Amino acid sequence: MSTRIDHRFAALAGAGRCGLVTFLMAGDPDPETSFAIIEALPQAGADVIEIGMPFTDPMADGPAIQAAGLRALHAGQTMVKTLDLVRRFRRSDDTTPIVLMGYYNPIYIYGVKRFLADAVAAGVDGLIVVDLPPEEDTELCLPALAAGLNFIRLATPTTDDRRLPAVLRTPPDSFIMSRSPGSPARRRRTRGGWRRRWPGSSATPGFRSRSASGSRMRRAPPSSRVAPREWW
With beta carbons less than 8 A apart as the criterion, state whether 4 and 95 touch.
Answer: yes
21-25 and 150-155: which strand pairing? unpaired
The tens digit of pLDDT for each residue in 161-216 reads 777 666 666 554 445 555 544 444 334 333 333 333 333 333 333 333 333 333 34
Task: Write out the DSSP string of 22-57.
Answer: EEEETTSS-HHHHHHHHHHTGGGT-SEEEEE---S-
Distances (CA, A) of 26 to 132, 216, 229: 21, 21, 34
Query: Which positions are catalytic?
Result: 50, 61
Provide the 8-state DSSP code for 150.
Answer: E
From CA 228, how far away is CA 204, in angstroms rounded?
A: 5
Query: Which H helix or E strand runs over 193?
Result: helix 184-197
With beta carbons less than 8 A apart as the criterion, state whether 222 and 155 touch.
Answer: no
Mean pLDDT confidence for 81-86 = 98
Which of these ranges, 15-29, 43-57, 77-91, 213-227, has the smallest mean pLDDT? 213-227
Mean pLDDT confidence for 77-88 = 97
- Give the chain's largest Cα–Cα span: 51
Global model pTM greater than 0.85: no
From CA 178, how far away is CA 206, in angstroms rounded?
A: 13
More confident residue, 60 or 26: 26
What's phi and psi for 220, nearest 5 deg? -70, 155
